[in-house]
Structure 1
Amino acid sequence: MRFPLSACLLLATACLLLATACVPLGTPITDPNAAGRAPGQQKPPEYYADKTLRYQDYTYAPEVRSVQCYVASGQPNEVFQPPVVPLGQSPAITLEFDVLGEQSQRYTARLVHCNADWQPSVLTDLQFLNEINEFLVTDYRVGVGGKTPYFHYRLRAPGVKLSGNFLLVVQSPGGVPVVSRRILVYENRVQVGLQPGIVVGGQERYTLQQLDFGISYASVDLVNPAVEVKVVLRQNFRWDNARYNLRPTFVRDAERRLDYQYFGFENAFPGLSEYRFFDTRSVQAAGIGVLRVDPRPNPVTATLQPEVSRAKQAYNQYQDANGQRVFESREYGNGDVNADYADVTFQLKADQPAPGPVYVLGALTDWQLKDEFRLAYDETTQLYTGHALLKQGYYNYDFAVAGGPGQAPNEVYFEGTHQETENQYDLLVYYRPPGTRADLLIGYQAVNMNGRQ
């Protein structure tokens, strides 16, 4: 019996939806950053060429710059706060970005509910929202006083009815994505105990930072928690080097508690060093970390001080922003619309080429290896150099060597690693109740390792 083409398409779509909905409970979380990549492929040949929506922090157009997603708490340095909020409370997650050019654009935003592996869930919009899932971005202002024309956009994420993972997507007419950011909404249904641990090893005790944690679920009835509870451990709120698939080492049924204490460094991270930094808040004088600045060209140019490898250096303590950045203009204030853009040149001295391509890495690159931030090596001068268009501000960054297939970038090669480094860590606890169709974020805690007061 032959079916019409339209019926075949409907049947195939139904099969696909059923396959998506029937994800077994306890399915391991794989690294969601590797989804859609061929083995060994770090990114598409051209970063901005593919406009397919990715369920991660991503920028889809080269004219979109200076993206920040944070909790608008009204406190100083609020832009350093990750987009993580408790369910039903008032602090709003804010997304800001610039679009280069002399003509404003019309954008809309929407939320996508995702499971623990950052793949879209099968929930309908009304199951996690109280309003239509399309929001017109109306808050935008023109950049003034600088040589590079741009418009600054801002929007606040709507409140949701469920905890879990959400992708905030801004798109142009026609549904083409412009920028996407991961946001988290949690509820404290379980008690999370996250604390610095002691690395059991030899030299590793001086280079790694370990996080021990336990989960108490006395106040909630979890079915088979040892298998169905999923956790993600992050360093400095990064997704690119997060720890997935951590299983409990002890299950205490009588105490209704899961303990996670490892001896193979599964819950340990390289401490690295405090982040490098530079200050381009002024275009009239060179700030810290800047060799020279020239306000005459268009765009303004800034050349950074030549950096050196810190792999064999002793630990150097100073205050940093854990890889983040803030935009500001010393001359005019209000970095949202008064800060100009500068062509910033990075320099790194190296006696010999690294064992792989070298990149600038940090929040300024979305913690990704972008072509714009790849450095070129000159054997004559023994210098890595590269440049990128960046908004005036104070920046943290480091240098990373691209890893092999399935490997995170190697930051230790140029930065070294120390147990004494100050870093922030947080733990995400997911659970899918029986009979439901989505993963909930039922526990969250953040701690500071070697915090400075």
Structure 2
Amino acid sequence: MPKFLFQYLLLFFIFTSATAQEVQTEVAPPYNIKTVAFVQNGANVVPIFELGSTFEFQFDDLFGNEANYYFDITHCDYNWKPTDIPKTDYITGFDNQRIMNYANSFNTLQVYSHYKLPFPNQFTNQLRISGNYILKILNEDREVVFSRKFILYEEHSTVAAQVKRSRNLSNIDYKQNLDFAILSNDIVFQTPLQNVKVLLLQNGDFSTAIKNIVPQYTLGNQLVYKYDKETQFWAGNEFLYFENKDIRAANNNVGKVGSSGDIYNSYLYTNQARANQIYTLYQDVNGNFVVKNINGSNNEIEADYAWVYFSLSAPTFRSNQEDIYVTGMFNNYSLTPEYKMEYNTDKGVYEKAIMIKQGFTNFEYKIADRKGNINYENAIDGNFYQTENDYIILVYYKQSSDRYERVIGKGNANSINITN
């Protein structure tokens, strides 16, 4: 073999190997892609599904030109690096196919095309193994438009969990702690300190996930986690919300409605920073949202979009190093410039206009520096141990004979029943 050809092949294999091991991160959608959601049983959900169950992936394209989109599915390990498993081993059928199920909006001021990708579908008959997955949406040039994580799990273990207050007096009023135990009746854990991993999620936000926590001790085949510091989350505060199911009327937390532009404008009441206020219970859906048009029969294509004007009075927050963002499941807790608030010096408040599909929407204000690091300790709305939060615990397991890390169990907990 000629020397130059050998060197070329060597460089090619090194490059492809390095590329294949890159950590997969979610690509935020461009401006025209809105209302991205995983849907199961007609509701938007945190994208964690039992292996073999059915669910859908949906999104809107505000260009409304019936553009062609394709989907790609990649299986990943615990750290979101692509595994070396052939696609034929984790997909029955094919990916990289065009999304065939779409429809144009009907009777709306903002035109859009609504896309639905069900699983299983006519191309991908089944996802065969559990684990972490990245779903990429591609354009006609096979460029990634945006991507989302989702996880499939198996029922091979039970997770008993409880939310407790911190045992550290310095943050006992501000944090929540997860105590949990893992037990499997059909798997005998081999070297669990190395082979068993967990993922802890608060309100479905992957950016705040806690990882790499080993069992504190074992009781036979039961793994017990009774840490304090290692499994703590900042408690935050209840999510704020607005409701514009009737887009022409001022409903809950909508101060007034205008239609000076091409679409409706919903002006929310100014929110006050709640960090220095006493805790108040708000009934929320822990960051989720519901698309709803009370005057339509098919919310997927008959719900309209509105410019929603957020305003926040936070007189104690003025920083040149950090910014305030409007986040929630409606934008996948994104910290992109599209959701960064600007300070209005004349009014003395932070403002932002965001185009959101009508319905019921939870949101929160987050502080982050220029690198996207969120300042939880000094949250705009404070941290209160009484806050009602949803928690998910996922159990990963890989024994010596396995080629990948299986997700063998899922546990749920809610802080409504928090104990000392």
TM-score (norm 2): 0.90
TM alignment of 1:318-357, pairs within 5 A: 318-355=282-319, 356-357=322-323
TM alignment of 1:9-48, pairs within 5 A: 9-15=8-14
Distance 1:17 1:436, change over 3 A: farther
The answer on 1:63 being equivalent to 2:29 is no
Amino acid at match of 2:365: F
Q: 2:102: which partner in 1?
A: 140
Deviation of 1:321 after TM superposition, in Å, equals: 1.0
TM alignment of 1:226-241, pairs within 5 A: 226-241=193-208
Residue 46 of structure 2, aligned match among 82, 95, 106 = 82
Deviations 1:35-87 (A, max 9, x none): 6xxxxxxxxxxxxxxxxxx532x3332211111113x225xxx22x3222222
Residue 161 of structure 2, aligned match among 194, 209, 213 = 194
Deviations 1:1-57 (A, max 9, x none): 95234x434323434566789x9xxxxxxxx9xx6xxxxxxxxxxxxxxxxxx532x
Secondary structure of the 1:227 match is helix
Q: 1:48: which partner in 2?
A: none
Measured in 2, the distance between the counterparts of 1:203 and 1:141 equals 54
The answer on 1:447 being equivalent to 2:413 is yes
Q: 1:221: which partner in 2?
A: 188
Amino acid at match of 2:133: F
Q: 1:44: which partner in 2?
A: none
Check the 8 A contact 1:283/1:295 in 2, yes or no. Answer: no
TM alignment of 1:144-223, pairs within 5 A: 144-158=106-120, 159-217=126-184, 219-223=186-190
Deviation of 1:217 after TM superposition, in Å, equals: 4.2
Residue 279 of structure 2, aligned match among 309, 315, 335 = 315
Measured in 2, the distance between the counterparts of 1:140 and 1:438 equals 34
RMSD: 2.4
Check the 8 A contact 1:326/1:395 in 2, yes or no. Answer: yes
Distance 1:298 1:175, change over 3 A: same
Distance 1:99 1:404, change over 3 A: closer
Q: 1:29: which partner in 2?
A: none
Deviation of 1:428 after TM superposition, in Å, equals: 1.2
Q: 1:384: which partner in 2?
A: 350
Residue 297 of structure 1, aligned match among 261, 275, 280 = 261
Q: 1:248: which partner in 2?
A: 215
Check the 8 A contact 1:400/1:411 in 2, yes or no. Answer: no
Give unmatched runs, 5+ long, in structure 1: 24-31, 36-53
Measured in 1, the distance between the counterparts of 2:378 and 2:257 equals 30
Distance 1:295 1:65, change over 3 A: same
Amino acid at match of 2:41: S
Deviations 1:124-180 (A, max 9, x none): 111111112233311111112122111111111332111111112221112112232
Q: 1:121: which partner in 2?
A: 83
Measured in 2, the distance between the counterparts of 1:421 and 1:352 equals 23
Distance 1:296 1:379, change over 3 A: closer
Measured in 2, the distance between the counterparts of 1:309 and 1:138 equals 45
Check the 8 A contact 1:116/1:430 in 2, yes or no. Answer: yes
Check the 8 A contact 1:113/1:120 in 2, yes or no. Answer: yes
TM alignment of 1:363-442, pairs within 5 A: 363-403=329-369, 407-410=373-376, 412-442=378-408
Amino acid at match of 2:111: P
Give unmatched runs, 5+ long, in structure 2: 121-125
Check the 8 A contact 2:234/2:376 in 1, yes or no. Answer: no
Measured in 2, the distance between the counterparts of 1:102 and 1:257 equals 53
Deviations 1:285-326 (A, max 9, x none): 111111111134212212111110100111111310111111
Distance 1:214 1:311, change over 3 A: same
Deviations 1:335-375 (A, max 9, x none): 21112211111101122443321111111221121211111
Check the 8 A contact 1:401/1:411 in 2, yes or no. Answer: no
Deviation of 1:435 after TM superposition, in Å, equals: 4.0
Measured in 2, the distance between the counterparts of 1:59 and 1:19 equals 23
Measured in 2, the distance between the counterparts of 1:258 and 1:448 equals 21
Deviation of 1:406 after TM superposition, in Å, equals: 7.4
Deviation of 1:404 after TM superposition, in Å, equals: 7.0
Distance 1:61 1:186, change over 3 A: same
Secondary structure of the 1:213 match is strand
Q: 2:71: which partner in 1?
A: 109
Aligned residues: 411
Q: 2:123: which partner in 1?
A: none
Q: 1:51: which partner in 2?
A: none
Residue 267 of structure 1, aligned match among 224, 227, 231 = 231
Q: % of aligned pairs identical? A: 27
Measured in 2, the distance between the counterparts of 1:217 and 1:20 equals 36
Check the 8 A contact 1:236/1:424 in 2, yes or no. Answer: yes
Amino acid at match of 2:3: F
Distance 1:396 1:406, change over 3 A: closer
Secondary structure of the 2:257 match is strand
Deviations 1:374-423 (A, max 9, x none): 11113342211111111112111111111476733437521111121111
Worse-matched range after superposition: 278-287 or 430-439: 430-439
Distance 1:20 1:168, change over 3 A: closer
Secondary structure of the 1:8 match is helix
